[in-house]
């Protein structure tokens, strides 16, 4: 599948995007994409070129990304809220031939002189041209996207994803899935399209099947609920902090009445959020699992009975094996590192063969660095990141388990645990806690619920914990 042809088959009058007051049909979208394609071709950008797209969840993002794919270039989504120094660094790394700007990225025009790539405001381009150039020929293995992996790991990496990588996942979650996304669905587009989850699951897969996407540029819980009600949204994907805000947002309790699929990804969904949404709106959130490097979906919960703490079951066609550090598969029921083989697995990191070799084998196994366990029915449960494991007296301590126990204390608002060197036990557990709580009381609370080697030996009380917008904790800032 050449992603440049993503929207070609759909009826011209079908609504593709709802962007505020504006409605864009598939016919209009094709016309606008053709016009931008003409501009790119005129600028000499074609097969093997690189097109940056710096836009939020707005029509310009969709037009620019599809135009970039259509001329055969690799598309590089760039977060429009990136601070200037970060933008400069990103452009140095990915070296785009041009960066197409949406409304939310237009601020960068003022800094053009200091940037290494030419900027073009999509709003300045025509929406129709007489004879748009044809979509360039691309093979499935050709590069479609260069994605900057999300910033919780210290070193930013650029994942190379092919047309086939994304197209395969699109098919797996739409036409090839029980209760997959279909042409009659209306999807809430609030997860950022610059992130693989928003890009492939919320934007491209629904476009592929001819669904309608309701764009929401900035997250606002009340506005989301209003968009859902107004446009009869059927499919909502969100990150855990979003679901938390929707659970508490003012508005009627039937706000999600039209929703037939609710999903969460990017970080673990707290069970109280799952329960709050279910109890208030009558909707069960299904979790999924995936990484930028897997385009992203490998497990999900659509079409199966939802287990609130599980990330669901593997998609048809995905192989998942849990292994020990030496690569031996663990016994059924035991935890191990999640190793994946799927047509969605990426081609490697840009200009970083060593990083690629550390996670990807020649025969296509991707070592995720995540620890998980399957239950007897094939549901996957995530445990933690391997590199976050703290080793105390030879025993593995998973920070997530300790944090979840500490968070159960009613006075604790947030908790992050990290390991520090310890002469006797190798490492020891140190807890960073926010909230008005007595140390001795919290220690007693933990000791009742955790094996003694897992109990923090030191508590540090802080006002705020570092949390990324997706809800992931930024642990390295506390080490």
Burial of 11 (0-12, 13-18, 19+ CB in 10 A): exposed
CB of 304 vs another protein, minimal distance in Å:
8
Q: Looking at the DSSP assignment, which residues form a beta bridge with residue 98?
A: 51
Write out the two tokens for 323.
């292994």
Residues 6+ apart with CB under 8 A from 153: none
The string of DSSP letters for 201-262 reads IIIIHHHHHT-EEEE-SS--HHHHHHHHHHHT--EEEE-HHHHHHHHH-SS-TTTTTT-SEE
Per-residue binding letters, 423-462, with another protein (x by CB under 8 A): -xxxx---------------------xxxxx---------
Does 182 sit near another protein (CB under 8 A)? no
Does 294 sit near another protein (CB under 8 A)? no
The string of DSSP letters for 294-348 reads GSSEEEE-TTS---TT---EEPTT-EEEEE-TTSPBPPTT--EEEEEE-TT---E
Does 252 sit near another protein (CB under 8 A)? no
Distance separating alpha carbons of residues 265 and 376, to the nearest angstrom: 23
Instruction: Specify the residue, 258 or 396, whose C-beta has the smaller distance to another protein.
Output: 396
* H helices present in 84-232, as ranges: 84-94, 163-173, 196, 205-209, 221-231
Q: Give the end-to-end CA distance of the chain in Å, rounded to a whole number.
A: 44
CB of 428 vs another protein, minimal distance in Å:
11
Q: State which of positions 377-396 bind another protein (CB under 8 A).
A: 377-381, 383, 391-396
Sign of the dihedral defined by the CA atoms of residues 51, 54, 57, 58, in that order: negative
Does 284 sit near another protein (CB under 8 A)? no
CB of 207 vs another protein, minimal distance in Å:
20
Does 10 sit near another protein (CB under 8 A)? no
**From the list 234, 335, 428, 470, which residue makes contact with another protein (rule: CB under 8 A)?**
335
CB of 216 vs another protein, minimal distance in Å:
30
**From the list 316, 410, 436, 463, which residue makes contact with another protein (rule: CB under 8 A)?**
316
**From the list 354, 436, 463, 464, which residue makes contact with another protein (rule: CB under 8 A)?**
354
Does 317 sit near another protein (CB under 8 A)? yes
Q: State which of positions 103-122 bind another protein (CB under 8 A).
A: none
CB of 394 vs another protein, minimal distance in Å:
4
Residues 6+ apart with CB under 8 A from 50: 73, 74, 76, 94, 95, 96, 97, 146
Instruction: Specify the residue, 133 or 317, whose C-beta has the smaller distance to another protein.
Output: 317
Interface residues with another protein (CB under 8 A) are 175-178, 303, 309, 313-314, 316-317, 319-321, 323-329, 331-335, 339, 341, 354-363, 365, 367, 373-381, 383, 391-396, 401, 424-427, 449-453
């Amino acid at each position: 599948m050449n992603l440049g042809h993503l929207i070609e088959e759909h009826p011209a009058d079908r609504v593709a995007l709802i962007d505020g007051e504006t409605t864009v049909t598939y016919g209009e979208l094709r016309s606008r994409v053709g016009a931008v394609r003409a501009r790119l071709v005129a600028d000499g950008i074609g097969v093997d070129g690189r097109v940056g797209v710096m836009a939020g969840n707005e029509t310009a993002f969709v037009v620019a990304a599809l135009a970039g794919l259509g001329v055969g270039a690799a598309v590089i989504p760039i977060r429009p809220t990136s601070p200037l120094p970060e933008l400069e660094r990103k452009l140095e790394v990915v070296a785009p031939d041009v960066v197409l700007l949406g409304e939310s990225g237009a601020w960068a025009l003022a800094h053009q002189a200091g940037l290494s790539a030419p900027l073009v405001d999509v709003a300045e381009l025509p929406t129709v041209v007489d004879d748009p150039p044809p979509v360039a020929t691309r093979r499935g293995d050709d590069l479609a996207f260069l994605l900057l992996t999300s910033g919780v790991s210290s070193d930013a990496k650029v994942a190379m994803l092919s047309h086939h990588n994304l197209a395969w996942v699109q098919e797996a979650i739409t036409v090839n899935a029980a209760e997959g996304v279909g042409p009659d669905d209306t999807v809430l587009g609030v997860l950022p399209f610059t992130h693989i989850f928003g890009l492939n699951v919320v934007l491209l897969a629904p476009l592929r099947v001819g669904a309608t996407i309701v764009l929401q540029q900035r997250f606002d819980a009340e506005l989301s609920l209003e968009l859902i009600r107004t446009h009869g949204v059927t499919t909502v994907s969100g990150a855990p902090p979003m679901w938390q805000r929707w659970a508490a947002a003012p508005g009627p309790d039937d706000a999600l009445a039209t929703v037939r699929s609710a999903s969460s990804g990017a970080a673990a969904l707290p069970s109280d959020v799952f329960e709050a949404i279910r109890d208030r709106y009558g909707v069960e959130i299904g979790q999924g699992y995936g990484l930028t490097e897997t385009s992203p979906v490998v497990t999900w919960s659509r079409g199966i009975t939802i287990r609130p703490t599980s990330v669901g079951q593997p998609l048809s066609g995905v192989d998942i094996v849990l292994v020990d550090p030496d690569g031996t598969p663990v016994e059924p029921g035991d935890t191990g590192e999640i190793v994946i083989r799927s047509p969605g697995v990426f081609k490697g990191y840009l200009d970083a063969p060593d990083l690629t070799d550390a996670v990807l084998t020649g025969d296509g196994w991707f070592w995720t660095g995540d620890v998980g366990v399957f239950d007897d029915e094939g549901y996957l449960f995530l445990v933690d990141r391997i590199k976050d494991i703290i080793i105390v007296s030879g025993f593995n301590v998973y920070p997530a388990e300790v944090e979840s126990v500490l968070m159960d204390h009613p006075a604790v608002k947030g908790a992050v645990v990290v390991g520090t060197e310890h002469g006797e036990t190798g490492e020891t557990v140190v807890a960073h806690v926010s909230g008005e709580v007595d140390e001795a009381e919290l220690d007693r609370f933990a000791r009742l619920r955790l094996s003694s080697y897992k109990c923090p030996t030191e508590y540090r009380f802080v006002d705020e914990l570092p949390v990324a917008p997706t809800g992931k904790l930024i642990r390295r800032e506390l080490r």
